[in-house]
Chains A and B, each alone.
Chain A
C-alpha cells in the first residue's frame, strides 16, 4: 500500500512534467472533439493520431492516446442529449432520458450531470486501477465463455426492465433486436446468415446505424416542423446547472454506475458495451418512480453515463497488468505501445515503472482537465438548441448521415440508418419502445458466440455453466431474479381485474 502511494507520487512527478501535461491536454481536447462529433469515435480518433506519436516518447504517446480514449467518453453524450443522435454504442441509453430532459429545457442540467458522472466514474476507476489492478486482472482471466453466457442471460432478464410498455411488446422488440443481431457471418461455422450477398452485412448490423435511425431520425420523422414552430426551447444561461433535487437524484445512480461499469469493464471481450444498458435497466428496476424513465429521469442519464466511463477505465486493468486487450481500443493502445518498443504485459510495471505510474497519474490529471474543459462547454452546446427547429432538424439529418457513414465508411450502414428511421417512426405509431430492440441487438452476437463456445469447451455438456464458480454464481443470481419476477407476476395477477380497468382508462396511446 505504502509502496503504491510512493509509486503514485513518483508518477505524479512524471505526469506534471510540462511535456506530459501538454500531451494529456491535447489528448483530452481531441477526445472531447471526437466524442462530440458523431461517427468519429475513440477508435478512429486514436488511429488517426497514431502517426503523430511516432515523434514522441512512449510515455507522451500513451498519455495522449489514452486521453483521447477516456476524453471521448465525456463528449459522447452531447449529441445524444441535444439531438438524440448516439455517436457511439456506449451513449445509446443516454439519448432516451437525456434528450427528454433537453425537451423539458434541462439540457444544461443533463450535460452537467453527464460530465460530473463521467468525472466521478473515471476517477473511481483509476483509483481501483491504482490499488487493486493485478489481483483484479487475475480474476478477469477467469471470465471465459461460460461466465459470459451467464452474464448475458442476466442481461436478457434485465431486458424486461428496460421499458414501460407491456411485457409482450418489450419482448417482441427484444426478439426483433436479437434477430437483427444474428445477421451476418456465423463466426462459429462460416455460414452467411440473412446477408443477401451484401458483404457489408457480413459483420452484422452495427449498433450505431440502428440506434441513430431509431432514435435520431425516427424522432425527426415523427416531429413535423409545423407542430414545433414558435416553441423553441431557449434555455436561460442561469438555468444551466442542475437543481438541488436533480443532484440528489443523481448521486446514487452515479455511484452504482461507477461500480457496475468498472466491474464489467475489466472483463476481456465486448462486455463493456452492455455496461450502460445494464445500468439503465438497473436504475429503472430499483427506482421508486420507474414511470419517469423515458420522460427525462435524471437517473437514466447519470447511471449509464457513469457506467460507460468507468467501464472504459476498467478496460485498462487487463491491458496494463496482462497485456491483453478488452476491446478494439485497448488493442490499438497496446499496438501503439509496441510501436514505441514498450510491450504491454505483466512486466510493464517492473520494466517500465516511469511509464506505468506516469500514465496512471496522468489519468487523474486528465479527468480533472476534462471536467474543467466540459463544464464551460455546456453553455456553448446548449445554445445549439436556440436554432429554430426548422433549421435544426436538417442539421441533425446531416449529422445522422455523416455520423453513421464515418464509423465504417460504409454507405450500406447509412441505408440501414434510413430504414431504421422509418421503422422507428412506425414503431412510435404502434406504441412500441425501441430501447429493448437495441439491447437485443447488442446482446445477440456476444450471447450466441459465448454460448456456442462454452458448448465447444464442454463438448456439448450444459453443466459447464454450473460447475465453474463465477458462472455458477451468475446463474444463481439469474434464477433468483427470475423467481422474484415470477412471484411478482403471480401476486399481481390476483388484482389484475383492477389493473386492467386502470389500463383501459389511462394506458392507450401513452
Chain B
C-alpha cells in the first residue's frame, strides 16, 4: 500500500521551549510569548511551549523568550510540527520515546540552571575555575606473582 506523502509546514522550524522555574509557569510563559509572537505559531504544553514559524521569526522570538527567565528556560529543535498525529500520545497509545529522553534530562536541569547563574554571577571576566576532570579509566596495578603465591600459601596454612 504505497501512499503519497505531502508534507505540511514546509520551510518552517519548530522548537520546544521548556520552563523549569519557581517564578514562571508554562501558562505565564505562554501569555508573554503570545504578546511577542508576531505571527509565530505558539502552542502551550504541560512543560512550556512549542513555537513554529519561518526560521528568522522563530529565532527572534526565542531570543525574546529567553530574556523572560534566562536560566530557567531551555530550548530545543523539534523535527515534527506541533500536534502531529504521528507523534501524538493519544494515537501511539503511549509517550513517544523522545519524551522519556527529555524526562532523563529534566532531572538535572536544576544543576544546569545553577551553572548558568553561577557563570552569570562571575561575569565575562571570570575565568572558568577548573576543567572538569576528564573521565578517568581506572587502571589497577597487576598483582605481583610473588605476592599471589604468598597469598595462596597464607590461605592454605
Q: State whether these chains interact.
A: no
Identify the A interface with B (CB < 8 A). none
Identify the B interface with A (CB < 8 A). none
